[in-house]
A and B are shown apart, each in its own frame.
Chain A
Amino acid sequence: MTELADVIGAPPPQEFDALSADEREALAALVERAAQQRSELLDRAIDDSLRHIPALLRGTVKRALGV
């Protein structure tokens, strides 16, 4: 079971203790999924952005992006 506190890196407000274990797990899963999707979105965005950059600048930008 994924703990909500583990996913967000800190204990959530104590009022969330009133949720059931299943509900807290569902919420944790949504947060993990959102983080994963955001990271994948960023991967695609960086790749896509390089296509729009003129060749002359592409190397400099790639170095700045660390890719």
Chain B
Amino acid sequence: MAETLERSAEITKLARLLGVELKELVYLERVPAPALRGLREQVTDRLFSGDAARLRRVAGASKLLPVPLTVKIAQLAFGPLLCAATAGLLDPPHAVKVASKCPTDFLADITINLDPRRAPEVIAAVPTPLVVAVAKELLVRDEHVTMGRFVSYLSTATLRAAVAEIPDDADILRVAFVMEGKNKLNELIDVARDRLPGLVRTAYEQQLWAEALDLIGHLSLDRRAELADIAAAEDDDLLNGLVRAAQELDAWDIVLPVTAAMSPESLRRFAAMPALTQPEVLRSVIDTATQHDLWQALLPMVDTMSHDDLEEFTALLEKDTADVVWEALVEVRDEMPERVRAAVAARAKVLGRKDVISALKA
């Protein structure tokens, strides 16, 4: 699910780096996103190393000139591509002095071309107001890919200030989705805590479930629980939308652990959603629980099902249900609530699965 969109983001970045149209790289859609990112870093290193000595001299020469003249030359002679290539070679204080005198739109152009790996000290030295100004310009240009590259290089304070200037929750979801260094997503959520209800609603209203589910999938358990309870407090349309999205995006491996983190009341509401009782959905849920070892996460939701819904659930266990599913159920027998175990055993009896009945009793 997320792989397709991540791959698209990586191809976009590579196309920019090579100065080509996306259509020239269409064959790269067969390559996984992490490999594309690895190649992009190799290409960046190659492009840099070819001119490294001259770029170092340029960086050194810039210190000989007054800052206003450096800024003028940067804009008129070097342009954003070469400025980006040189940025990481400047002393951070000097780089900040130059950046502070550059027009914001030019800084945004440089940022689009900059590999943050090559300039972490410079990025860290840029004052928050300047980062925020550039972020606002990048937002105007819908440069979510670029913004996502820099999030993990910002301090918490700067990140908080930048997020405060992103009025549209959809933009936060889009930036989070293409973020490099998703381990920083917990921090992003922390600084945007007051935006969580808006993020959930926006995911529904603007069909950004892929982005929202990817975000959720990378969060710590307690943050997932927080988002899960926020979602569960929403109206039925939104919850049914979440179920449909999990089904269409094949994202039950992300949603099931989230349901396990829900409060009992939230879980009851979620389990009662009509979209969840569709046989094809329940089959997907069973398959996902089996493939991803998520039966422990699924059991609490199954336990909240009404008697009729539970019967419908176990009715999906059929004669041709793979042994691996029965084995997975047996494996969690100790965690299985009694009514669920009884329902599974009853179904196993109907199907003549004496082996399962014995194993559940053991």
Interface on A for B, CB 8 Å cutoff? 7-10, 12-16, 18-20, 23, 26-27, 30-31, 33-35, 37-39, 41-42, 45-46, 48-49, 51-53, 57, 60-61, 64-66
Contacts and interface: CB of A to CB of B under 8 A. Distances in A.
Please report whether the interface of chain A is mostly helix, strand, loop or mixed according to DSSP: helix
Contacts of B50: 35, 38-39
Interface string B16-55: 0111100011011011101100110011011101110011
B89 interface: no
Contacts of A30: 18, 20, 24
A17 to B, nearest CB: 10
Contacts of A64: 57, 60-61, 64
Given A8-B43, A20-B27, 6 more contacts: A12-B35, A12-B39, A15-B35, A38-B50, A45-B79, A61-B65
A10 B42 contact: yes
B73 interface: yes
A33 B46 CA distance: 12
B82 interface: yes
Contact of A41 (B25, B57, B82): B82
Contact of B47 (A27, A35, A61): A35
Interface of B: 17-20, 24-25, 27-28, 30-32, 34-35, 38-39, 42-43, 45-47, 49-51, 54-55, 57-58, 60-61, 64-65, 69, 72-73, 76-79, 81-82, 85
A12 B42 contact: yes
Contacts of B51: 38-39, 42
Contact of A52 (B20, B54, B76, B81): B76
Q: Which of B20, B34, B65, B72 has the most CB of A within 10 A?
A: B65
Given A8-B39, A57-B65, A19 B58 contact: no
A8 B17 CA distance: 13
Contacts of B49: 9
Given A49-B73, A61-B64, A42 B35 contact: no
Nearest to A52: B73
Nearest to B53: A66
A18 B25 CA distance: 15
B39 A45 contact: no
A1 B185 CA distance: 43
A34 B19 contact: yes
Contacts of B57: 64-66
A8 B42 contact: yes
A63 B45 CA distance: 27
Contact of A16 (B17, B25, B39, B47): B39
B213 to A, nearest CB: 25
